Structures are given as C-alpha cells and as structure tokens.
C-alpha cells in the first residue's frame, strides 16, 4: 500500500468512527441496568435501539471538527522528533477538507 493511501485510510477510518459515535443513542438513566432474568427481553434484536440519523449539516460539522482536531494536534507537535507525525496529521486534515470541498460543490449544484 502506498503511503498516501495509508493517510487517506487513516483519515477516513477516524472520521467514520466519529460519525458512528454521533449516531449512537444516548443512554436513558431511567432504564434499570439489572433485572430478573425472566424479565429480560428475548429474541434476536430485542435489545437493539434505533440509531440517530444525521443530517447533511451534522455530517459536515463532524468532518470539519475532525479536520480541525488534526490541525490543532499538528500545531502542538513542535518538537523536531514529532515532525513526521505532525505532517501526517496535516495530510489527514487535507484529505478531509478536500472531501468537504467536493461534497459542498455537489450539494450546491444539486
């Protein structure tokens, strides 16, 4: 795998994880955590909860936040020993920002 591909994969994996986390349903504190075995839900999917659906604006905000986080982390890595890591973070942010530029151009043209 080429080095550039690794940067793209890393940026996209991290961003997909952030999107996945944003879709998680908040845990309701009123639900008891332990109950009698006979009161437990039964059957495939009985304990599954529907995930949140993110709108386009929310997705864009999350991707922007991921890019900004990488740029901020790169800015904090000032020691020469961390130059490679800082450059990789900047490259990952560039991948995400290019993705946003392409997505916004498509959305405006629609």
For residue 98, which of 67, 77, 59, 65 has the smallest C-alpha distance?
Answer: 67
Dihedral of the alpha carbons of 3, 9, 14, 19, in degrees to the nearest 10: 160
pTM, rounded to two decimals: 0.73
Q: Residues 53-88: pLDDT tens digits? A: 999 999 999 999 999 999 999 999 999 999 999 999
pLDDT of residue 44: 66
Q: Residues 16-51: pLDDT tens digits? A: 999 999 998 876 665 556 666 666 666 666 666 778
Scan for tokens 């973070």, then name that residue.
89
The DSSP line for 79-106 is SGGGHHHHHHHHHHHHHHHHHHHHHHHH
pLDDT of residue 110: 45
- Which H/E stretch holds residue 73? helix 56-76
């Amino acid at each position: 795998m080429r080095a550039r591909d690794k940067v793209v994969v890393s940026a996209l994996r991290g961003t997909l994880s952030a999107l996945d986390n944003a879709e998680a349903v908040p845990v309701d504190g009123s639900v008891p955590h332990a109950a009698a075995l006979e009161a437990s839900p039964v059957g495939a999917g009985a304990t599954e909860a529907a995930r949140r659906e993110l709108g386009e604006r929310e997705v864009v905000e999350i991707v922007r936040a991921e890019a900004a986080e990488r740029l901020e982390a790169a800015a904090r890595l000032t020691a020469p020993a961390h130059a490679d890591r800082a450059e990789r973070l900047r490259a990952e942010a560039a991948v995400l920002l290019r993705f946003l530029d392409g997505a916004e151009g498509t959305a405006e043209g629609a």
